[in-house]
Amino acid sequence: MHMFQTLYHELVLTNRTFEAQLNAILEQQGIHRSDWSVLYYLIMDEQLTSAEIAKLLAIEKPNVTRIMKNLVAMGYARVEPSTEDKRKKHLLITNEGRAMYAEVRTYVDQFELESMKDIPTEHQQLFIETLNQIQQNLLKRAGDK
């Protein structure tokens, strides 16, 4: 087996295991992975639109709309029209959403730290750089088609 085949095989297996365990943690806290992903980006940037979140998550805009309706129904987010362009809507996290995110973040941080146990910082940094390069190559490939 070639090195690249082994790398991708391990990456897929690791991602599946990670996602399954993360989903279990999030479900115990009463939210779904998709909700968590959108909340993460809303925490990072308070002026995102549905289209921007869809692009960041590489999902279709109607999926973001469904997730946002769910977050609004739970009281974790609200939607406001853009002051610059009435066709755009900004997705904003509420105080309740911030509090819930901070609480759940402690569980997620503990889980993520456990998954990185005994991996030196230098290896973590190299892995981040490798993943970033793979992502850039994939984006370039998608743009070439």
Each residue's pLDDT tens digit, 1-22: 899 999 999 999 999 999 999 9
**Among candidates 90, 93, 61, which has minimal Cα distance to 75?**
93
Second CATH level (architecture) for the domain 3-116 = Orthogonal Bundle (1.10)
Mind listing the pLDDT tens digit for each residue in 12-70?
A: 999 999 999 999 999 999 999 999 999 999 999 987 888 899 999 989 999 999 999 99
The ranges assigned to domains in the chain are: 3-116
- 3-class DSSP assignment, residue 54: helix
Could you tell me the pTM of the whole model?
0.84
Helices of type H across 29-94: 33-44, 50-57, 61-73
